[in-house]
Structure 1
């Protein structure tokens, strides 16, 4: 799995969007409602972020 900026993941009832992808850290936003885009920003190391994405589903963008 390759992480990229802008990816959207679904885990449970929440969505996780990668906002800024850096060499060591990942800034992401947890979104509860996709229509409004409201959510909170967080930062984790890549290793911790990959643990967070365990059992999450990647949402492919519409063509």
Structure 2
């Protein structure tokens, strides 16, 4: 299944959340967060290929899950 990366998407992998803060043709800037309530985190820039490897196996959160501040199982 193909999923297009878009700005403001939030991905959950384990206990970490990755929010795409800037999407560009060549690179992705994302913020790593430990929870969705605080929205604090560290911004990092990677190539699209590296970012896709980082989130391999991660879950894309729906807008409702983001609004509620949780992923599956929380």
TM-score under structure 2 normalisation?
Answer: 0.81
Bigger helix share: 2
Report matched runs for 1:8-47 at 5 Å.
Answer: 8-47=10-49
Q: How far apart are the structure 1 equivalents of 2:17 and 2:49?
A: 19
Q: Which has the higher contact order (CA 8 A, sep 6+)?
A: 1
Give structure 1 stretches of 5+ with no counterpart.
Answer: none
**Higher radius of gyration, 1 or 2:** 2
Structure 1 stretches of 4+ with a deviation exceeding 3 A read none
Bigger strand share: 1
